[in-house]
Amino acid sequence: RKEVEQDPGPFNVPEGATVAFNCTYSNSASQSFFWYRQDCRKEPKLLMSVYSSGNEDGRFTAQLNRASQYISLLIRDSKLSDSATYLCVVNIWAAGNMLTFGGGTRLMVKP
């Protein structure tokens, strides 16, 4: 079983739609969580951290469910520019600042 698993997609959605991605992690000792965005042939960029109580940044909402060991990302009112691959990232503090990346979920927003 992979440490961090994501549905690779692609998720094809129309502009203005709401779309959600889930990510599961296997190590219950995981302590911090992030979502990154990666555009085609570019480096990953931090989208947002994920906090225990859930957090929102504009159209983006991240949630953490420790009991079920998954995190989610919700994108409201999708824009064409949201088309990208979204990477789920998990940090197990016991191993130092070692982040483990999921394989990514590809999102394609259509006009």
Partner 1 sequence: SQTIHQWPATLVQPVGSPLSLECTVEGTSNPNLYWYRQAAGRGLQLLFYSVGIGQISSEVPQNLSASRPQDRQFILSSKKLLLSDSGFYLCAWSPSTGYNSPLHFGNGTRLTVT
Q: Looking up tokens 């088309």, which residue turns up?
A: 83
Contact between 40 and partner 1 by CB under 8 A: the answer reads: no
Half-sphere exposure of 78 (CA within 13 A, CB side): 21
Contact between 49 and partner 1 by CB under 8 A: the answer reads: yes
Instruction: Find the binder of partner 1 among 39, 45, 52, 79 (CB under 8 A).
Output: 45
Contact between 87 and partner 1 by CB under 8 A: the answer reads: yes
Scan residues 50-69 and list those touching partner 1 (CB under 8 A).
none
Asked if 27 contacts 85 with a C-beta cutoff of 8 angstroms, the reply is no
Instruction: Find the binder of partner 1 among 1, 41, 58, 67 (CB under 8 A).
Output: 41
Q: Looking up tokens 């440490």, which residue turns up?
A: 3
